[in-house]
Chains A and B, each alone.
Chain A
């Protein structure tokens, strides 16, 4: 199966790499499908993907960690059981529904509660906070992505924290440590690589997310898609593919889109393999049984 994936994506993107050159395709910023003046570059969308996922991580990971600590270390069973049930349930909600909600509900919250005040305060003096926000930009996309990855990252983190042996905790408590000190000195060192792995898994998810980002990132193309201010419209690799795939006017454009897919594939594959190595260091795959 992996062979099929690699082969077909490689084959499909051959045209564009041949035309633009491997290096130019990565660094180019044009996106022009008019016949005769065709020119494709992936750089703006790579940046758009990285920036929105970075924002998602910056918000999503600390919050997920907080939830994981609350559920596994602080809350009594009658609070933590339903809470983790709800979180697991939300991990199953399809991303199209996050997108629908973000488009019709959440973007007005963001615009009215965060973006407009920031714009009114700084917009005229600092270009970073302009132009007039209307809620469809990479800032919103990053925040919604963070909301989407919270259920996944927090439930994996919870399992990893639970896998830390109780003797670690008991040792810390018996030395008179407070709860926070126990978490800091007994649990974090033990679970460090696993938690990192969970975060990176979330990152892979955020980078590959398509439909949600397509609905709220604003969908610009070309050089304008490089985020140049906090509230600028942008575009990610996946969202551009989703937007143009069915309307591609030439084989070369299609090939360029598949090339974007190849870039995305390389990025996420590297991230995922790294994450899995880290996670497998702490969570042993089989809990007993055979051997």
Chain B
């Protein structure tokens, strides 16, 4: 009797031990994975933080009035600046937006408001849009070269704007469509019940409601193309002169950074950092506008990641 009880007690103890051991094992695995996740965050934060730090540190010391307002000086000399590049970036990006925004927004409106739900055309447009989103930018540069540069016989602003607009368009289409889809149906119905035409409902009610969401997409796309380098190599070529015409080559910030970085001079590198800081400031400013717009719109627009 006594022995039996002792035995069962012993067994209980064993089982409890096993359970306890398993419990610790599971706890340990949990802690290990948590540690791994935190380690990942640290691994990522160190280089990413270093990028921002270096750009700000090296860029701030390079930025001067001369850098911002003068064209590049002789190669290797510390004179001159990056003014044509800043001007060029603004012009090319502006031109790209002029092409891409109307087409992109209208396509987005079509997809969301006018397209039949299961039609062939809208699904084809969506598929092509997704394919365009995934194209490497260097390939788009080649397309710009083959279509515009060869036709005009010269590297030109137009070709650059065209290439960048191809990169921009899918982003604008996507965000426009998704924002319009979130606009509540009751608004459309209210419009129709008042006898307003579909056209007016779409443009005066739906689009007005979704305005900031659409703008978010546009700003996102601009922030993205402002930093593109590869397609510009084949389209606008880069020069050290200011804007001379839409069919002439022009300079752009990313291109200028690339050229400065490949020169073997300290002063060129320093100017490169300065240009990088200017570029980052442009992109970050745009992103900040984006955040504000997104918050004001009240919708949580899912930004497509390209």
Contact = CB atoms under 8 A, between A and B. Distances in A.
B190 interface: no
Interface string A246-288: 1000000000011001001100110111011000000001111
B44 A95 contact: no
A201 interface: yes
B39 A286 contact: no
Nearest to B124: A2
A82 to B, nearest CB: 11
Given A11-B146, A289-B185, A105 B50 contact: yes
Given A93-B283, A261-B138, A290-B181, A201 B51 contact: no
B86 interface: no
Interface stretch (B66-74, B194-202, B219-227): B219-227
Contacts, number: 228
A97 interface: yes
A210 B137 contact: yes
B264 interface: no
A211 B230 contact: yes
Given A96-B227, A154-B44, A201 B55 contact: no
Given A98-B51, A215-B261, A5 B135 contact: yes
**Interface on chain B toward A: helix, strand, loop, or mixed SS?**
helix
B257 interface: yes
Nearest to B43: A63
Contacts of A104: 54, 261, 269, 273
B41 A105 contact: no
A66 B45 CA distance: 13
B30 A181 contact: yes
Given A208-B135, A242-B138, A242-B233, A70 B40 contact: yes
**Interface on chain A toward B: helix, strand, loop, or mixed SS?**
helix
A183 interface: yes
Interface of A: 1-2, 4-5, 8-9, 11-12, 62-67, 69-70, 74, 83, 86-101, 103-106, 147, 150-152, 154-156, 159, 178-181, 183, 201, 204, 207-211, 215, 238, 241-242, 245-246, 257-258, 261, 264-265, 268-269, 271-273, 275-276, 285-290
Given A11-B146, A155-B305, 11 more contacts: A67-B40, A88-B303, A96-B254, A181-B30, A201-B134, A215-B261, A238-B136, A238-B230, A257-B142, A269-B134, A269-B135
6 contacts: A1-B132, A9-B142, A92-B223, A178-B27, A180-B29, A272-B130
